[in-house]
Amino acid sequence: MGAGPPAQGGTEGARDGARPLLSVRGLGIRFKTAQGIWQATRRIDFDIAPGERVGIVGESGCGKTITGLSILRLLPGNFAGLDGKILFDGTDFASCSARQMRAIRGKRIAMIFQEPMSALDPVFTVGHQIAETLRVHTDVSYEEARAKTLEMLRRVGIASPERRIDDYPHQLSGGMRQRVMIAASLICGPQLLIADEPTTALDVTVQAQILELLRDISETSKTALMLITHDLGVVAETCTRMITMYAGEVIEDATVDEALVRPLHPYTSGLLRSLPHLSPRHGRLPSIPGRVPSIAEMPAGCRFRARCTHATKGCEAEQKLLDAGGGRRVRCWRFAELNLPGALHPPSAPAAAKVATQ
Amino acid sequence: MTAAAAEPHREPIVSVRDLQVRFQTSDRRATVKAVDGVNFDVRRGETFGIIGESGSGKTTIGRALVFLLNPSAGAILHDGIDPLALSRRAFQNHRRDYQIIFQDPNAALNPRMTILASVLEPLELARVGNSAERERQAREALERVGLPQEFGERYPHQLSGGQKQRVVIARALTLKPKLIVCDEVVAALDMSIRGDVLNLFADLQRDLGLTYVFITHDLAVVSHISERVAVMYLGQFVELGPTEEVAERPLHPYTIALLSAEPRPLPSSMRQDSRIVLQGEVPSPIDPPSGCRFRTRCPHAQPLCTDRVPEWRELKPDHWVACHFADRPNFSPNAQPETTP
Ligand SMILES: Nc1ncnc2c1ncn2[C@@H]1O[C@H](COP(=O)(O)OP(=O)(O)OP(=O)(O)O)[C@@H](O)[C@H]1O
Ligand SMILES: Nc1ncnc2c1ncn2[C@@H]1O[C@H](COP(=O)(O)OP(=O)(O)O)[C@@H](O)[C@H]1O
Ligand code: SF4
Ligand code: SF4
Ligand SMILES: [Mg+2]
Ligand SMILES: [Mg+2]
C-alpha cells in the first residue's frame, strides 16, 4: 500500500495542534422505553479541532443522530439520562442550563438535518426564518438582518436571492431548501456545524453541489464540520477524518485516507469491502454476516463479536478505545496483529493501475 | 450473469417502442410527461439497468413494463406478443411471468400476516395446486432466498430489513416469473447486507434463468450487476449501452456529469479534483425544455440544442446516445471521469 502519497496535508495539524474546539468524553445516552431503560450510546470519545471536517459513519441505528443531538442537548421526550462531558471551547454542555443551551444553539453550534422541509416553517418566508435566527442572537436591526440574509443566500448559491428571499419553503426545490437551511445555520457564524445526512434526500448531481458548498464554507469561514452520514463516499469527498460507530460506540477514529487504505477495526474493513465500487464488476460482493445486535440485548464484551471473523478467546472482554499511534484510535484489542484489507484490497484492476502509475 | 451475451439475436423478452406515459397533475390542470418516447429491448437472461435521478421516470417505466399501468402511447411487447391484446383471463395468467419488487419491504408485507402466509398469498390468488402443494412451493421459495424454515412462522417485525427484502423476493419467485423488475430494491438496506441481497439476485438468475430490469439511482450498484445500462433524464433515455462502455467511455454529457458527481470512497491519492458539478436541478416534466431536454444544465449546449431534438442513434455498436455532438472527437475528452472499478 506504499504506492500512494501519505495522508492529506493538514489533517495531522488538526489533531496535534491547538486545543480542540469540541471534546466529547464518555458520552452516553439512555432512553426510557416500555421494555425498561435502554442505553442507546455509550463511552463516546472524540475531539474536533477548530475548522476540522469530521465524518461520523455507521449503519442505521448505530447512534450517529443521537450523538449529534446530544451534543446540542436536543434529546427526545423519553430521554432518561446523559453521562460524560461535552466540552465546547472550555464549557461543559452536560452541566449547562436549558437557557444557556438556547443561547449557544444556532449561534455557536448549528445543526442541519436530512429533511430540510421539516426543519423549515411552512408559514414564514425563507428570508424571515433566516433573519429571525440572527435577530434572536444579536441586536441587529431589521434592515441589517435582511441585508445579511441576502448576502448569506447569495453565499450559499441561491441565484437572484432578492427574488427568493420572500418565497415560502414549498416554492423551493429540495436542493434550494437545503441551501436555505445551510444559510440559516451559518448566519450567526457558528464555530461548529453538525450536518445530519444533509444530502441523503437529494439527487447525486445536487448532492455534489451541496457537498462542494459545505467544503468551501468550512474552508473559507473556518467553520468546523461534523458530517453524519452512512455514505463512505460522501465522507471521502468532504472530510479529513472519519469516526466509525457501531452499536452505540465509537469503534475507530482515523484520517479518511488511513481508514480507507488500512482500516484497523474488522467492522470498518468489512464495510469498505462490501461497497460495490470496490469489487470487480459482476463478482460476488463480500458482506458482513449477521446483523447489528438490538439495544435491548447488547452482548457483553466486543459488540461486534458475533459477526467478526477474527473473534477469538479474549474478545468477550470489554473493549476499550485503544491508542493505535499517530492519533488513531480503535476499539479492538487485536488491531496490531490483524492485517485487514481496506478499500484497495484486493486491488481491483483499474484502481491498482492508477496507483501504480503515480 | 452472462447468459444473455451468448444469444443476443433471439427474440427479446421485452421490447419497448415509443413508450409514452402521461399523468394528470392532481389539480387536473397540467400533464406530466413521465415517460416520453423511450425505445429499448430487454434480452433474455440479462440484467438491464436503468439509472437516473428522482422523477426521471424510472419507476413509471418499471410499472408499465409489468402492466401495472397502461402506456399512454407506444407499445410494450412481451416475448413478441402484446399482452393488452390477450383475453382477460389469458392476460392474468400471462402477468405472473412478469413481476415487480419495490424498495420498501415493509410496504410490501402485511404486518399481521406470518412470513409463510405472505409468501403463500400469490399462489392462493393464482389458485395454484392444492393447499399442500402451495405450501411446498412457498417453503421452497423461502429456502431459495436463504431463509431458514422457522422464519415461516415469524412476523415481519421480527425480521431485519435484509431478511424482509428476501421474503419479498421469495414472494415474487413463487409464481416462477421469467422477468423481475427490481425498483430500488437495495436502497433501503444497510451497506453491510446490500451485498447479500445483490448476490442472491445473481444466484437466482444463474439457477433459474431469470431476466432482470434493475432500476436504481445508485451508479455503483447498477454497474456492478447489469450487463447493459440505460441513463434516463426527464422522461427519456439519453444513453444506452454495455455497462463497461457507458461507465468507462460515456458519450452523453449527462452521463459524464452523473459519473463525475458520484462520491467515491477512495483515498485522496486516487481521487481526481476535476469533477463536473452541474448547475441547477432537473426541470419539471410538465414543461420540459425544447430541443434537448438536458440543455438547461449541459456545459456544452449550443443554439442547435434549443431548436432541435437530438436523434436517438447507435453511435457505436450496441451503444446508443441522444446528443447532437456526441460524435465530435474533442467532445469533453478531459472531462472524462475516472472509471468505476
Ligand atoms: N427516542 C428514542 N427512544 C428509544 N430509542 C431511541 C430513541 N431515539 C433513538 N433510539 C435508538 O437509539 C439508537 C441510535 O439511534 P440514532 O437515531 O442515533 O441512529 P443513527 O445512527 O442516526 O441511524 P440512521 O442511520 O438510521 O439515521 C437506535 O437503536 C434507535 O432505535
Ligand atoms: N400517479 C402519478 N400521478 C402524477 N404524476 C406522477 C405519477 N407517478 C409519477 N408521476 C410523475 O412522473 C414523473 C416520473 O416519476 P417516477 O417514474 O416515479 O420517477 P423515478 O422513479 O425515476 O423517480 C415524476 O415527475 C412524478 O412526479
Ligand atoms: S475485539 Fe475481537 S471480536 Fe471484536 S473486533 Fe476485535 S477481533 Fe473482532
Ligand atoms: S444535444 Fe446539446 S444540450 Fe443536449 S447533451 Fe448534447 S450538447 Fe448538451
Ligand atoms: Mg440518523
Ligand atoms: Mg422511483
Considering its fold, how many domains does chain B have in total? 1
Summarize pLDDT for A278-312 with one digit per residue, the tens.
667 778 888 888 888 888 788 999 999 999 999 99
Shortest-distance ligand to the CA of residue B236 = 2
**What pLDDT score was predicted for residue A13?**
38
CATH code of the domain containing B261? 3.40.50.300
- In a domain? residue B180: no
Ligand 4: distance of its center to the CA of A296 in Å? 55
- A residues 33-72 lying closer than 8 A (beta carbon) to B: 59-60
Summarize pLDDT for B204-235 with one digit per residue, the tens.
999 999 999 999 988 889 989 999 999 999 99
B10 pLDDT exceeds 90?
no
- Model pTM? 0.86
Q: Which of A141, A173, A189 is the last residue in one of the domains?
A: A189
- In a domain? residue A181: yes
**What pLDDT score was predicted for residue A120?**
85
The answer to whether B172 touches B101, Cβ cutoff 8 Å, is yes
Q: What is the mean pLDDT of chain B?
A: 89
**What pLDDT score was predicted for residue B195?**
86
Say whether both A255 and A335 belong to one domain.
yes
Summarize pLDDT for B70-124 with one digit per residue, the tens.
999 999 999 999 999 999 999 999 999 999 999 888 889 999 999 999 999 999 9
Chain B interface includes A266 (CB < 8 A)? no
The answer to whether A110 touches A161, Cβ cutoff 8 Å, is no
Say whether both A208 and A338 belong to one domain.
yes
CATH code of the domain containing A241? 3.40.50.300
Write the CA distances from A273 to A55, A304, B31, integer angstroms.
Answer: 19, 16, 45
Say whether both A88 and A22 belong to one domain.
yes
Residue of B nearest to A6 (CA): B269
Chain B interface includes A200 (CB < 8 A)? no
**C-alpha to C-alpha distance for B33 and B286, rounded to whole angstroms:** 6
Say whether both A140 and A270 belong to one domain.
no
Residue B226: all three cell numbers together = 447489469
ipTM: 0.82
- In a domain? residue A86: yes
Q: Return the residue matching grid coordinates 441587529.
A: A140
Percentage of residues of chain A with pLDDT beyond 70: 90
- In a domain? residue A104: no
Nearest CA to ligand 4 atom 6: B323
CB pairs under 8 A between A and B: 156
Atom of ligand 2 nearest to the CA of B53: 22
Which of B259, B276, B105 shows the shortest CA–CA distance to B182? B105
**C-alpha to C-alpha distance for A95 and A109, rounded to whole angstroms:** 17
Chain B interface includes A8 (CB < 8 A)? yes
The answer to whether A330 touches A45, Cβ cutoff 8 Å, is no
Which residues are CB-contacts of B27 (< 8 A; sequence separation ≥ 6)? none
Give the range of the structural domain holding residue A117, as residue numbers without chain letter.
109-189
**What pLDDT score was predicted for residue A353?**
34
Say whether both A247 and A323 belong to one domain.
yes
Q: What is the mean pLDDT of chain A?
A: 87
Summarize pLDDT for B130-159 with one digit per residue, the tens.
999 999 999 999 988 888 888 899 999 888
Say whether both A158 and A127 belong to one domain.
yes
Say whether both A219 and A329 belong to one domain.
yes
Shortest-distance ligand to the CA of residue B65 = 2
Nearest CA to ligand 1 atom 2: A31
Chain A interface includes B79 (CB < 8 A)? no
Q: Which of A171, A189, A207 is the last residue in one of the domains?
A: A189
- In a domain? residue B241: yes
pLDDT band at B331 (very low <50, low <70, confident <90, very high): low
Q: Which of A134, A160, A189 is the last residue in one of the domains?
A: A189
Say whether both A170 and A64 belong to one domain.
no
Considering its fold, how many domains does chain A have in total? 2
Give the range of the structural domain holding residue B333, as residue numbers without chain letter.
1-42+56-79+219-341
Burial class (CB in 10 A: 0-12, 13-18, 19+), B100: buried
Strands A53-57 vs A241-246: parallel, antiparallel or unpaired = parallel
Burial class (CB in 10 A: 0-12, 13-18, 19+), A337: exposed
Residue of A nearest to B257 (CA): A205
- In a domain? residue B232: yes
- In a domain? residue A27: yes
Q: Say which residue, A1 or A277, is predicted with more confidence.
A: A277
pLDDT band at B330 (very low <50, low <70, confident <90, very high): low
